Structure 1
């Protein structure tokens, strides 16, 4: 189901709780909502649809890849980026890392560990920040 985008700063600052298998509908809703905004958005976190669970989704080529309870375990090569957010007006500068290693559960709740770089790494960092209540 396509959900309304949360733009309430106070709610976006709330830290998300770990997701469980009971939260599978949130994953489906994130996929649907991201697809509905694909012209203006490449990633989303569950708090952007008023669900405070550690679930993110990232557009990787033709695939919308959900990550449940993602944790960055390694990062390298800091740089300054300019980002926008579907929940906020305008763009802001922020520090990011060119390469990150992320541990997460996939949509079947199978443990994954993967290295991401460049723009995909930037998207993942932005969405994990959302889970931590950090706003650009």
Structure 2
């Protein structure tokens, strides 16, 4: 089990914009990336503020699991100082959860695609287009860097559901796993 706990809703760091990373190759930044990779667990992404670090770095790691059985598979991707350059005009609503908001799901509108510039783990500039579920993950994690959580994106409180209800009603699995 990772030594650093994931912070939960109510911790002030989740509500403040994270600081840009000056040197991606700094050993402390590389150690933070290793910690983020270790904390992914059942999630498909994680952001540094979730580990009490006000740094602009996220990990995206889509893969099918109990929380997201239909997720596409991809290798973990490190995004340092990410910025959305462009986004699709169409928004799609779907259910999201968060390691920092355990036990709750929200029906969240997100852009169907986004184009992002970022530095990779080696500090090299990258530009990539993300679509569908992976675009949703990236937008969710980038929100963490701006002091937002998925609850800030739902259209109404009626778009919220507990994890057991979501598992039963949406996934058709019944009960909590």
State the TM-score, normalized to the length of structure 2.
Answer: 0.70
Q: Which of 115, 122, 125 is 2:136 aligned to?
A: 122
Superposed structure 1 runs of 4+ greater than 4 Å apart: none
The correspondence for 2:123, drawn from 83, 89, 109, is 109
Q: Which runs of 5+ in 2 are unaligned?
A: 63-72, 151-177
| Structure-2 separation of matches of 1:65 and 1:111 | 13
Which residue is equivalent to 2:77? 65
Residue of structure 2 equivalent to 1:27: 33
Higher relative contact order (CA 8 A, sep 6+): 1
Distance 2:55 2:107 in 1: 26
* TM-superposed deviation, 1:8: 4.2
**CA–CA distance in structure 2, aligned partners of residues 33 and 99 of structure 1:** 26
Q: Distance in 1 between matches of 2:16 and 2:115?
A: 25
8 A Cα contact 2:13 2:54, kept in partner: no
2:86 to 63, 66, 74: 74
Higher-Rg member (1/2): 2
Helix, strand or coil at the partner of 2:6? coil
1:102 Cα offset (Å)? 0.5
Structure 1 unmatched ranges of 5 or more: none
SS of the aligned residue for 2:139 comes to helix
Distance 1:108 1:32, change over 3 A: same
RMSD of aligned Cα (Å): 1.5
Pairwise CA distance, 1:20: 2.9
- For these two proteins, the number of residue pairs brought into alignment is 132
Q: TM-score, with normalisation over the residues of structure 1?
A: 0.90
Q: 2: distance between equivalents of 1:8 and 1:130?
A: 11
Q: Give the whole-Å Cα distance in 2 for the aligned partners of 1:117 and 1:103.
A: 15
Q: Partners in 2 of 1:8 and 1:78 — Cα distance?
A: 25
More strand by share: 1
